[in-house]
Structure 1
Amino acid sequence: MIMWQKMKALSVLLLLLLILLVVGCSSNDTAGEQEENIDGEDMELKDPGEVGYPEEITYWTELNASVAQTSQTLNDVGVYQELEKITGTKVDFKHPSGEGTDITEQFNLMIASGQLPDVIEYNWRTVPNGPDQAIESGTIIRLNELIENYAPNLNRYLNENPEVKKMVTTDAGNMYSFPFLRGDEKLMVFMGMMIRQDWLDELDLEKPSTISEWEEVLTAFKNTDFNGNGEQDVIPLLVQPDDIKNIGPFLGAYGIHAQFYNDNGTVKYGSIQPEFKEFLTTMNKWYEDGLLDPDFAAIDTTLLDAKVTNNQLGSLFGYTGGGIGKYMGLMQDRDPEFSLAPTAHPSLKEGEKAATAQRAHPYEGFHSVAISGLAENPEEIVKWLDYAYSEEGHMLFNFGIEGESYDMIDGYPTYSEEITNNPDGLPMSDALGKYIRASYGGPLVQDVRYVEQYLELPEQQEAVEIWGETAENEINMPPTTLNADESEEYSSIMSDLDTYYDEMLVRFIMGEEPLGHFDNFVETLKGMGIERAIELQQAALDRYMER
């Protein structure tokens, strides 16, 4: 297992080196051609009144799973069919196959090939060497002047929301993409802990709010035969390694984040703090006591669904829609008593709040669109992309086509039964995927009225409130960016370090690595360069605060 992970890490590193070489060469070869696009200030800008919509563009983007249930391409989706009628622009969508790392590898290979479409939708904030280097190399273009002149709707929004504008601008002052923006705080909370409320009611227990209360509830779950099969097969809790690493349910009780966090302006790495050992001690105890799912380190969606629907799983970390909504729907006919309720991320002491939980920023980089350096008509493309930020485009991208996917009722865009009670039996997420983009991101401002209807269950609406109250998130890092040199050095450090970290996290929890070796773990991380990575993150945070 270790050897395979090292080989995989090596292959990723070699791929990144190939990208750097190819992009560097292409930068030299096309420096003269791209010079005006790179510095932006020397661009010869057309009169906005003379700029129309493009006749056609090529557009690279992942095909969301909810869209793929009913469509082969985004051309089949209502929002883009209507957009073509309005603008006359024909779009040739290029959809990479697979998901996760598959998409990342295909993106990297496309960039390395130099064969770029007009626009590319990706998380440009996290690309190797950062968005500033992507602009300098000619891979994408700087958008500041183009947005100011040809994107009046987005430009207005950013000027009215300076904190968001700060997020979408690099330390060097470059704007590099048309962003996916969450337009309301209710849209920023969508993941958290949930528990079987019907089981709590059967045992006459309250929702747990502290680590000790959680242990009492989980123990009671373990010792109760809820599914009536005469076996002790209840799994009290499932929290997966990525949940611990990226969000930290239960970890916030100890005042830290597993990864980099902001301690009053000082960047720290939570997993080398003494509090992380306390957290691991609790998780190891829960694992040894049978409170934590023995499959927590290697579970897929199929197995998770089976454990929930077979009345085995008592609590888990998940989404408002893909967790509470999904399982309440699946169990509605099978077990009418089934109820998943949201719980606050726990603290150590009654009345305290966890230091962190899931709360997204208005902008994080996902599903944002950059214009490639090979695009021949950037002004027209900017105007086309800006339509989504107009009043009409906002309605189209968030609600679809009036009279089909929504109706205006007392001034409120109300989803039709085509969405809420689909005649083909599609769940709401897939029905929305036939018409809109707001349900999974894209170059737009997400409307809170979308989520008010998508989260139709009282338990889902309660989740947003409870998880939002929990998520003070004063220690969470803002959406900083590393510069080119920092990004290369940081990637070199974290590639091997993350592989080692992921393995050791599981080994500590499962007891395969004694917690007495925690100090050795910390020293190994330091030897692998975690302190230098902290310095790089500190520099990025300092620059962000000075933007």
Structure 2
Amino acid sequence: MQNNLKALTVLFFLLLFFALIVGCSDNGTSSEETEQETELKDPSEVGYPESLTYWAELNGNAAQTAQTLNDVRAYQVMEETTGTTIEFKHPSGEGTDITEQFNLMLASGKLPDMIEYNWRTVPKGPDNAIEDGTIIRLNEIIEDYAPNLNQYLNENPEVKKTVTTDEGNIYTFPFIRGDEKLMVFMGMIIRQDWLDTLDLDTPTTIAEWEEVLKAFKTGDPNGNGEQDEVPLLVQPDDFKNIGPFVGAYGIHAQFYNDNGTVKYGSIQPEFKEFLTTMNRWYEEGLLDADFAAMDGKLVDAKVTNDQLGSLFGYTGGGIGRFTGLMEDHPTFELSATPHPALEEGGIAATAQKAFPHEGYHSVAISGQAENPEEIAKWLDFAYSEEGHMLFNFGVEGESYEMIDGYPTYTEEITNNPDGLPMSNALGKYIRANYGGPMIQDVRYVEQYLDLPAQKEAIEIWEETAENNINMPPITMNSDESDEFNSIMSDLDTYYDETVIRFIMGDEPLDNFDEFVATLEGMGINRAIELQQAALDRYMAR
């Protein structure tokens, strides 16, 4: 009896032990269960979802006439076509406000189905966002449920390279510029009528620019008998991030790719030459005294008061916008100037030129989304022929007509009856003029830039910069991203303040070596190493 009791006791504990093992296995995830959880639906059984939530900034081009993107005709027609109702969630503000609200949303742990953002630049990088479940890997999803985007990426491997991380993950439905002409849209703009009044040629070198700016300052080109002209306006972020005038010295002010070697332009001797020129122009009143504290309203005021001689700006928001604002001025005329070189016949090393995909205005599927296959099918609609026409041109018969096979904007867009600028009239219908998960069509820009000066600007700016030193859209891994952001957060603050002080003369240029030493002490060389590692991986993709 006692032996039987012992046997039963042993059997009980053995059963309990196995039960605990099984219980622990159930609380975890077996490999079979993982396969079941990640098993994708048969594409033939996937339809459009009934409803989705979508977080995205409401761009100013649309905000003029829309409370949400539901008010944009493209999304209204898309809802009629797919049957999917979208609840848009729009953060308020712009710039850092959007970034703060994005971070707060992630921290809340309550995510919508889709999130539109530049995921390439998120802290710790997109691979980490996939790893921690914030968003999902899209490779297989796109292959099976987004045939239109999948076909485009397979036919355009260089574009596919830019939407893929170093670990091989595709992480967003991208905004893609579908033509070379869509990638150049900013440069130096000058008052052509002032050049004509003073019998001056368009400047092409730094020395010629200096002579033109001096003539603008002293020659009374606006004809009011006062020396109130502001010869030049370029803002600090433009010098820093895009490089007007900096490219003449063979460098970029920030990180650049010198035949596979990453360099930081602002610690090169050439940057001191650039600063010396800008300081001289500032001291002589050639560069706007307000250049470091400028906003859009002040720029508008200087242009409409007939005071500003040249500026760095957009084809649309610069040449087009200011030409419209000054349409009652009898002689006002703007033209683009070549990116200047140091020597006659030279070419700038860098200027504004975008890559087909850089991360902006692209959509990731949240890790909390319950139906990623259906979401992918819905997003892929914009990459179809029907969706492409809808998001680039709007609704046939309303915003465009097909004329000789060319989607031609109607007067609803080109001469809006409510007096809307073309940018806002387009914003009522489409997303091509500010981006979104879609492929931008060159025929949009051919009509948006309707002025001859705008079309000429693209050609001039594209032809007068080599742009072979521009950094591609690299990504960093989690550890690199943390370390890089830690270095650059303090370094950028010091950099921004000191460069302005150099230009304004508050910091003697004799202290340039001390500036470089401080940047090195703050970790710029380590930041270069991190950029180098990311560039090496990008080139090896």
What TM-score comes out, normalization by structure 2 length? 0.94
- Distance in 2 separating the partners of 1:136 and 1:437: 31
1:248 is aligned to 243
Q: Deviations over 1:38-92 (max 9, x none)?
A: x999820111000000100000000011111111000011000000000000000
CA contact (8 A) 2:198 2:221 kept: no
Report the 3-state secondary structure (helix = DSSP H, G, I; strand = E; otherwise coil) of the residue aligned with 1:297.
Answer: helix
2:338 to 344, 347, 360: 344
1:69 to 64, 69, 74: 64
Q: In 2 relative to 1, CA 278–84 (structure 1 residues): closer, same or farther, beyond 3 Å?
A: same
1:199 is aligned to 194
Report the 3-state secondary structure (helix = DSSP H, G, I; strand = E; otherwise coil) of the residue aligned with 2:244.
Answer: coil
Alignment of 1:506-517 (within 5 A): 506-517=500-511
Counting matched residue pairs gives 515
- Distance in 1 separating the partners of 2:177 and 2:37: 33
CA contact (8 A) 1:195 1:316 kept: yes
- Distance in 1 separating the partners of 2:258 and 2:455: 31
1:430 is aligned to 424
Report the 3-state secondary structure (helix = DSSP H, G, I; strand = E; otherwise coil) of the residue aligned with 1:181.
Answer: strand
1:51 to 46, 49, 66: 46
1:190 is aligned to 185
Q: Give the gaps of 5 or more residues in structure 1.
A: 1-30
The answer to whether residue 298 in structure 2 is matched with residue 277 in structure 1 is no
Alignment of 1:106-505 (within 5 A): 106-333=101-328, 335-505=329-499
Q: Deviations over 1:297-316 (max 9, x none)?
A: 00111111010111111000
- Distance in 2 separating the partners of 1:392 and 1:176: 24
2:3 is aligned to none
- Distance in 1 separating the partners of 2:425 and 2:30: 42
Shift of 1:226: 2.7
- Distance in 2 separating the partners of 1:132 and 1:212: 47
Q: Deviations over 1:184-209 (max 9, x none)?
A: 00000000001000010111111000
- Distance in 2 separating the partners of 1:281 and 1:519: 14
- Distance in 2 separating the partners of 1:306 and 1:449: 33
Q: Give the gaps of 5 or more residues in structure 2.
A: 1-26
Shift of 1:535: 0.1
Q: Which amino acid aligns with 1:477?
A: M
- Distance in 2 separating the partners of 1:280 and 1:490: 26
Q: Deviations over 1:225-265 (max 9, x none)?
A: 23333321111000100000001100000000000000000
Q: Which amino acid aligns with 1:352?
A: G
- Distance in 1 separating the partners of 2:379 and 2:89: 17
Q: In 2 relative to 1, CA 415–232 (structure 1 residues): closer, same or farther, beyond 3 Å?
A: same
Aligned sequence identity (%): 78
Q: Which amino acid aligns with 2:227?
A: Q
CA contact (8 A) 1:270 1:276 kept: yes
Shift of 1:527: 0.3
Shift of 1:33: 8.5
Q: In 2 relative to 1, CA 427–35 (structure 1 residues): closer, same or farther, beyond 3 Å?
A: farther
Report the 3-state secondary structure (helix = DSSP H, G, I; strand = E; otherwise coil) of the residue aligned with 1:228.
Answer: coil
Shift of 1:149: 0.3
CA contact (8 A) 2:487 2:527 kept: yes
What TM-score comes out, normalization by structure 1 length? 0.93
Q: In 2 relative to 1, CA 34–228 (structure 1 residues): closer, same or farther, beyond 3 Å?
A: farther
Q: Which amino acid aligns with 1:505?
A: V
Q: Which amino acid aligns with 1:62?
A: E
Shift of 1:130: 0.3
- Distance in 1 separating the partners of 2:98 and 2:531: 26
2:21 is aligned to none
Report the 3-state secondary structure (helix = DSSP H, G, I; strand = E; otherwise coil) of the residue aligned with 2:457.
Answer: helix
Shift of 1:470: 1.7
Q: In 2 relative to 1, CA 404–224 (structure 1 residues): closer, same or farther, beyond 3 Å?
A: same
Q: Which amino acid aligns with 1:63?
A: L
Shift of 1:155: 0.2
1:90 to 85, 93, 106: 85
- Distance in 1 separating the partners of 2:338 and 2:229: 22
Report the 3-state secondary structure (helix = DSSP H, G, I; strand = E; otherwise coil) of the residue aligned with 2:173.
Answer: coil
- Distance in 1 separating the partners of 2:526 and 2:31: 34
- Distance in 1 separating the partners of 2:120 and 2:32: 22
Shift of 1:35: 10
CA contact (8 A) 1:238 1:317 kept: yes
Q: Which amino acid aligns with 2:157?
A: P
CA contact (8 A) 2:194 2:222 kept: no
- Distance in 2 separating the partners of 1:171 and 1:42: 26
Q: In 2 relative to 1, CA 152–32 (structure 1 residues): closer, same or farther, beyond 3 Å?
A: farther
Q: Which amino acid aligns with 1:530?
A: I
Q: In 2 relative to 1, CA 244–33 (structure 1 residues): closer, same or farther, beyond 3 Å?
A: farther
- Distance in 2 separating the partners of 1:34 and 1:72: 47
CA contact (8 A) 1:367 1:441 kept: yes
